[in-house]
């Protein structure tokens, strides 16, 4: 299996690139959002998802591990295959996806081509319990939580509040949700557990 490729963009197609790796051209399918950042002659490193079928082997490429993780997660929903998952990722950034699922925003998800109202409802319903904290925490370093979380306590609680801030929740709302999660789970709860519990509370 191929998990990563580093090379030079040789060609950019409608839904793929050809990546030249030491003279070998790999056809790698990408979302429209990823393709917008790739240009002929660029030296890039892509995280790769390899899918082997009876009649083909397909490579899917991502600029970040968060995008790669979303691609896998989306396909756990019935009715979403690789093509639709890429369409969703083309329409919504990882940040927008995490926010839409946390808020159960079916309309936001429905912006993606191939996602009707029923599939959008199924997607947000199924993924709200599967949303890994890492997908939220991936954006914490660029969120507005750097100035302090508003929660006095252990680092996991502060990090969890920062993660909710990057998902679009207000500081007071995030602090209250994490404090509630900490009371429910106990002081020993780690960041991932706090974020998951808080998102469950906020989605009710």
**CATH number of residue 19's parent domain:** 2.40.50.140
CA angle 185, 66, 120 (to 5 degrees): 80
CA distance 161 to 136: 10
Cβ–Cβ under 8 Å, residues 63 and 44: yes
CATH classification of the domain holding 127: 1.10.150.20
pLDDT at 48: 96
List per-residue pLDDT tens for the chain, 204 residues long.
Answer: 889 999 999 999 999 999 999 999 999 999 999 999 999 999 999 999 999 988 889 999 999 888 898 899 999 998 899 999 999 999 998 878 887 887 788 998 988 888 999 999 999 888 877 765 555 554 443 343 334 444 434 467 877 887 887 777 777 788 888 888 888 898 788 888 888 888 888 876
Count of domains for the chain: 3
Query: How far is the C-alpha of 19 from the C-alpha of 44, rounded, in Å?
Result: 9
Domain end residue (candidates: 131, 152, 182): 131
Choose the final residue of a domain: 81, 99, 131: 131
Name the residue range of residue 20's domain: 4-62
Q: Which residues contact 128 (CB under 8 A, 6 or more apart)?
A: 101, 102, 104, 199, 200, 203
Report the run of H or E that residue 59 belongs to, with start and end. strand 57-62
Per-residue pLDDT, 187: 79
Tokens of 127: 């993924």
Q: Are residues 140 and 174 in the same domain?
A: yes
What gap in Å lies between CA 172 and CA 161, rounded to an integer? 10
Element (H, E) at 23: none
């Amino acid at each position: 299996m191929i998990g990563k490729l580093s090379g030079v963009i040789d060609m950019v197609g409608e839904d793929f690139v050809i990546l030249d790796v030491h003279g070998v051209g790999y056809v790698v399918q990408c979302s429209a959002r990823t393709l917008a950042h790739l240009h002929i002659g660029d030296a890039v490193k892509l995280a790769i998802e390899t899918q082997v079928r009876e009649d083909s082997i397909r490579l899917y490429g991502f600029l970040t591990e968060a995008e790669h993780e979303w691609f896998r997660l989306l396909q756990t929903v019935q009715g979403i295959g690789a093509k639709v998952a890429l369409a969703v990722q083309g329409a919504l950034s990882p940040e927008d996806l995490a926010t839409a699922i946390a808020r159960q925003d079916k309309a936001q998800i429905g912006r993606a081509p191939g996602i009707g109202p029923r599939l959008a409802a199924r997607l947000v319903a199924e993924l709200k319990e599967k949303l890994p904290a890492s997908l939220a925490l991936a954006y914490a370093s660029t969120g507005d939580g750097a100035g302090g979380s508003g929660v006095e306590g252990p680092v996991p609680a502060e990090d969890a509040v920062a993660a909710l801030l990057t998902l679009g929740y207000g500081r007071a709302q995030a602090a209250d949700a994490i404090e509630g999660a900490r009371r429910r789970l106990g002081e020993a709860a780690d960041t991932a557990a706090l974020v998951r519990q808080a998102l469950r509370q906020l989605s009710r």
